[in-house]
């Protein structure tokens, strides 16, 4: 027997009806033991703490059906057509049935990660694990909880007319541009705010200027007339930071060595962020290295170096080689985020389809005294502007500059 509310106008009337009940109260201690033994079961951490807070309070038993006379559109309870299954019970069970329960689900269960919105956390982190325990099954391996997007500080809703339409955003910013903004700015821990000028500013700054400018500058015929992947000269970039041969000047300052270290460490940082569903941190780490690379090129100004004087030519080739190696790493790491843009980077660098996996991330082998297979290779075809800069028109639409 349970109490249900029936709304009439602005009044709420309570009535009694007979339903099937799930003894959720009996699973409070098992749920606590499950979470206290696996802190990573719910991430981010403050959502884990929220569930613990719920479980430290009394859990009321859960009504898992409704009188069919009051709720006809749901699925009937098997063996009792007078009752309708509570919609959340049916919805949660689909996680198992879609995997082939009770025969074929073992391949993916419980090694599953549920990605849920913060507003339905109790259903996925309390009710669902308890139902699984009652059936003799383990809870999912992990529950990733994400926050919401607001629009200019307001909740997104049809009544306010501020719903962001993905198809329209694809037209405005391209699929990769919109993907990049969402992955770069979307933070699971707290709500993220959306407004069009913010998208344009981020895309222009990071994709068009920082990344696109670096690629265009280092592959331009004026700076790289041979159209090849230049050679790395260890004498111009010694690991110990000392002088070159016969007292020649060298490129490698402390900042230059810091760049090499940052890019060498980048794949591990990105992989760690991906594994922990912190995509925004992966993008942030890549763009930090992109900015360091632009600083490296700007410091050494290869456009000022002579094409005929041997030492300056070696320096220019080494600067370009380091910059192109950085771009190759960024292109490979960006494939899961912005696949079309990443493909344009790698194509322009002449990186083959079979050389684009994480196992191919051996950055700057010349720095370690090894030979790079790309040295002397022809660059790929000119892909044009990597990402066009956008401006906001008066009607709210975007156009390329």
Q: Is the pLDDT of residue 65 over 80?
A: yes
Query: Where in the chain are all domains bearing CATH 1.10.730.10?
Result: 175-393
Per-residue pLDDT, 156: 87
Model confidence band, residue 245 (pLDDT cutoffs 50, 70, 90): very low
Q: Is the pLDDT of residue 235 over 90?
A: no
Per-residue pLDDT, 12: 54
Model confidence band, residue 13 (pLDDT cutoffs 50, 70, 90): low
pLDDT digits (tens, 9 = 90+) for 86-122: 999 989 999 999 999 999 999 899 988 999 999 999 9
Cβ-contact 183, 277 below 8 angstroms: no
Per-residue pLDDT, 330: 98
Query: Where in the chain are all domains bearing CATH 2.170.220.10?
Result: 2-146
Model confidence band, residue 303 (pLDDT cutoffs 50, 70, 90): very high
Say which CATH topology domain 175-393 has: Isoleucyl-tRNA Synthetase; Domain 1 (1.10.730)
pLDDT digits (tens, 9 = 90+) for 138-197: 999 999 999 999 998 899 888 888 899 999 999 999 999 999 999 999 999 999 999 999
Percent of the chain's residues with pLDDT above 70: 91
Cα separation, 106 vs 103, whole angstroms: 7
Burial of 230 (0-12, 13-18, 19+ CB in 10 A): buried
Q: Is the pLDDT of residue 48 over 80?
A: yes
Per-residue pLDDT, 6: 42
**2-146: CATH number:** 2.170.220.10
């Amino acid at each position: 027997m349970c109490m249900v509310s029936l709304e009439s106008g602005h009044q709420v009337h309570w009535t009694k009806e007979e339903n099937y009940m799930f003894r959720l109260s009996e699973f409070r201690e098992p749920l606590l033991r499950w979470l206290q033994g696996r802190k990573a079961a719910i991430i981010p951490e403050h959502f884990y703490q929220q569930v613990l807070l719920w479980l430290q309070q009394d859990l009321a038993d859960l009504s898992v059906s409704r009188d069919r006379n009051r709720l006809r559109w749901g699925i009937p309870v098997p063996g009792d057509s007078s009752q309708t299954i509570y919609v959340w019970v049916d919805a949660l069970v689909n996680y198992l049935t879609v995997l082939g329960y009770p025969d074929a689900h073992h391949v993916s269960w419980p090694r599953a990660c549920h990605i849920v919105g913060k507003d339905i956390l109790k259903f996925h982190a309390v009710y669902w694990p308890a139902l699984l325990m009652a059936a003799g099954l383990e809870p999912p391996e992990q529950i990733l909880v994400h926050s919401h997007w607001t629009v200019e500080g307001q909740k997104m809703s049809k009544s306010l007319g501020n719903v962001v339409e993905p198809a329209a955003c694809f037209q405005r910013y391209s699929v990769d541009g919109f993907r990049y903004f969402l992955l770069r700015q979307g933070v699971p821990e707290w709500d993220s705010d959306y407004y069009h000028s913010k998208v344009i500013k981020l895309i222009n700054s990071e994709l068009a200027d920082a990344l696109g400018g670096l690629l265009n500058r280092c592959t331009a015929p004026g700076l790289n007339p041979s159209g090849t992947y230049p050679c790395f000269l260890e004498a111009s970039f010694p690991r110990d930071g000392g002088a070159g041969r016969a007292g020649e000047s060298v490129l490698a300052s402390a900042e230059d060595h810091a760049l090499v270290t940052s890019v060498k460490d980048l794949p591990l940082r990105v992989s760690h962020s991906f594994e922990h569903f912190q995509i925004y941190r992966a993008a942030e780490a890549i763009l930090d290295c992109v900015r360091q690379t632009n600083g490296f090129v700007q410091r050494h100004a290869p456009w000022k170096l002579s094409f005929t004087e041997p030492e300056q030519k070696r320096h220019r080739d080494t600067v370009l080689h380091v910059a192109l190696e950085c771009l190759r790493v960024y292109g490979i790491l960006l494939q899961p985020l912005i696949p079309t843009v990443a493909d344009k980077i790698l194509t322009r660098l002449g990186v083959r389809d079979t050389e684009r996996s994480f196992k191919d991330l051996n950055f700057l082998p010349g720095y370690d005294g090894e030979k790079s297979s790309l040295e002397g290779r022809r660059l790929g075809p000119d892909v044009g502007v990597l990402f066009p800069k956008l401006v906001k028109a008066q009607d709210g639409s975007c156009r390329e500059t």
